[in-house]
């Protein structure tokens, strides 16, 4: 099997990280692409596992050197990006790579890798559910919560820019849909991700 790229994207709080972790535990061929970020590390996070935590100065230096596959500057000036060295490391292990990135990052990866990449948009049932999920994290101020919700509204309008959509209303059903979509992409040699538009509901 030739290595492929599986890109999960969604508004914050839609549940893409939960689905990515499930797929990593279920599909041995997948390895996780760890993103780099300039935001502060949270108490439950580990450098090199959750993110590569680097300074803004180092991040900008790496941009200038062309070391990123994609990067974005988001909330309050923090940057997130995928390092080329991370993909090289995982491809060298013979792994297909799964990503947990924002909407613009997913679009950039798709533009560069085309049919080698599958983009999956994870959709929350509605904005109110998204608000509740973000509040339950206890990591947001009212200001950052509103920022994320406003960004989410814009991102939801981009759903059709991606190869397929999984509705994360009931988690078990979303996991089942995500697993079927990704396995089909990885193991079916005739599968063209640009032809997919499966929504993960009944």
pLDDT in tens, 91-142: 999 999 999 998 999 999 999 999 999 999 999 878 887 777 777 777 767 7
The residue assigned the tokens 């085309």 is: 114
pLDDT in tens, 18-76: 999 999 999 999 999 999 999 999 999 999 999 999 999 999 999 999 999 999 998 67
pTM for the model: 0.85
Say how far apart CA 187 and CA 4 lie, in whole Å. 10
pLDDT given for residue 197 in this prediction: 47
Question: Which CATH code of 3.40.50.970, 3.40.50.300, 3.40.50.620, 3.10.20.30 fits the domain covering 5-195?
Answer: 3.40.50.300
How many CB atoms lie under 10 A from the CB of residue 22? 16
User: Between residues 82 and 130, which one has the greater pLDDT?
Assistant: 82
């Amino acid at each position: 099997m030739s290595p492929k790229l599986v890109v999960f994207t969604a508004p914050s709080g839609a549940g893409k990280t939960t689905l990515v972790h499930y797929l990593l535990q279920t599909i041995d061929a997948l390895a996780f692409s760890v993103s780099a970020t300039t935001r502060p590390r949270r108490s439950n996070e580990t450098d090199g596992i959750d993110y590569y935590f680097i300074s803004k100065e180092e991040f900008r230096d790496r941009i200038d050197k062309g070391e990123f596959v994609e990067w974005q500057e988001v909330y309050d000036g923090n940057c997130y990006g995928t390092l080329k060295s991370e993909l090289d490391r995982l491809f060298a292990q013979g792994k297909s790579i799964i990503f947990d990135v924002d909407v613009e990052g997913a679009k950039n990866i798709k533009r560069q890798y085309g049919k080698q990449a599958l983009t999956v948009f994870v959709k929350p049932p509605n904005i109110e559910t998204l608000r509740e999920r973000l509040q339950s994290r206890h990591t947001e101020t009212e200001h950052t919560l509103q920022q994320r919700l406003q960004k989410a509204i814009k991102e939801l309008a981009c759903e059709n820019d991606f190869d397929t959509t999984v509705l994360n209303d009931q988690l078990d059903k979303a996991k089942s849909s995500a697993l079927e979509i990704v396995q089909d992409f990885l193991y079916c040699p005739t599968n063209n991700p640009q032809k997919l538009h499966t929504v993960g509901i009944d």
